[in-house]
Amino acid sequence: MKSVDTQIADATRPVPVGGRRLIVSWQHPITRAIEPIGQLAFDGYEYKFDYFARARDVEGFVPLLGFDDIDASYTSRTLFPFFAQRIMDPRRPDYKRHLHELALDDDDTPWELLSRSHGAREGDTIQLFPVPQLRSESWHCFFLVNGVRHLMTKTVPVHGVDRGMYSIDELETLLGSLRPGDELTLHSEPTNQFSQLALLVLAGSDDPLGYVPDLLTSALDRARAAGTVELHVEHVNSTDAGWHLRILVEMEAQLDPDFDFFAGEQFRLAAHA
């Protein structure tokens, strides 16, 4: 296994407790297919980036800036610049508002910001998704509901009835009715034109709000077959936040302690192959 030490240690940076992982995905600019291509990890002391072996065969993908060798394992005592630039600069005047939109506090670390925001930037093809963590005998993670605005232009079948095609006022009324702690439900949409695994997030049992992020859909399918999965509203933002930040959800799952949400050949690390 090749290893690349990319930066000088920064002993002053606060670090979270326990190992954490983010799945790094790349979206094809034409087909819009979302492909997992690597993993960013943090053990409370050191950051580590590895490609998945499958990244070699993803059509159109080229190595990320600063990570030229797919077979290498990259380590650093500070967050790699490629990922650090995906976090809002604390000096920006809207930084505190951004923390509020992600339901974070001033003392939360850059890792929390990266995990909650998914590291997305406008017009970019890279997104990150947090691997659920075992806490108090259950698995937890937060995610942002995808595709909220698309429900103004389409209907989706829910329990045999077409839902959606909201007017802007109807959608805002629905979002405005949500409160932290409200239970949400999952509903499969096998007729989805982009993915047969698509999972709708519903308010109550009938009203579609958007979709589970693509990277989590197959993992949640397996989790629901193996145990119990619950979703609750963590935070709802106003129109000022942008569509991608409107609804933050907490997932809690009762599963075996050794359950692996991202198992299988497609998540095999290239450096360990």
Residues 88 and 39 reside in one and the same domain: yes
Among the three residues 131, 161, 193, which one is the final residue of a domain in this structure? 131
Give residue 225's pLDDT.
94
Residues 114 and 172 reside in one and the same domain: no
Among the three residues 131, 161, 181, which one is the final residue of a domain in this structure? 131
Give residue 9's pLDDT.
35
The answer to the question of residue 136 being in a domain is no
The answer to the question of residue 270 being in a domain is no
The answer to the question of residue 103 being in a domain is yes
Residues 106 and 175 reside in one and the same domain: no
Residues 122 and 147 reside in one and the same domain: no
Residues 11 and 59 reside in one and the same domain: yes
Residues 195 and 232 reside in one and the same domain: yes
Residues 215 and 168 reside in one and the same domain: yes
Beta bridge partners of 253: 139, 229
The answer to the question of residue 60 being in a domain is yes
Residues 155 and 76 reside in one and the same domain: no
The answer to the question of residue 100 being in a domain is yes
Residues 151 and 109 reside in one and the same domain: no
Residues 31 and 125 reside in one and the same domain: yes
Specify whether the CB–CB gap between 143 and 216 falls below 8 A.
yes
Pairing of the two strands 72-76 and 2-5:
parallel
The first and second tokens of residue 245, run together, are: 């930040």
**Residues of the chain predicted below pLDDT 70:** 1-19, 122-123, 273
Instruction: Provide the domain count of the chain.
Output: 2
For the residues of 10-76, what is the DSSP string, one character each?
Answer: -TTS---SS-EEEEEEEE-TTT--EEEEEEEEE-SS-EEEEEBGGGGGSTT--PPTT---TTEEEEE
Range of the domain at 240: 141-254
pTM of the model: 0.89
Residues 7 and 126 reside in one and the same domain: yes
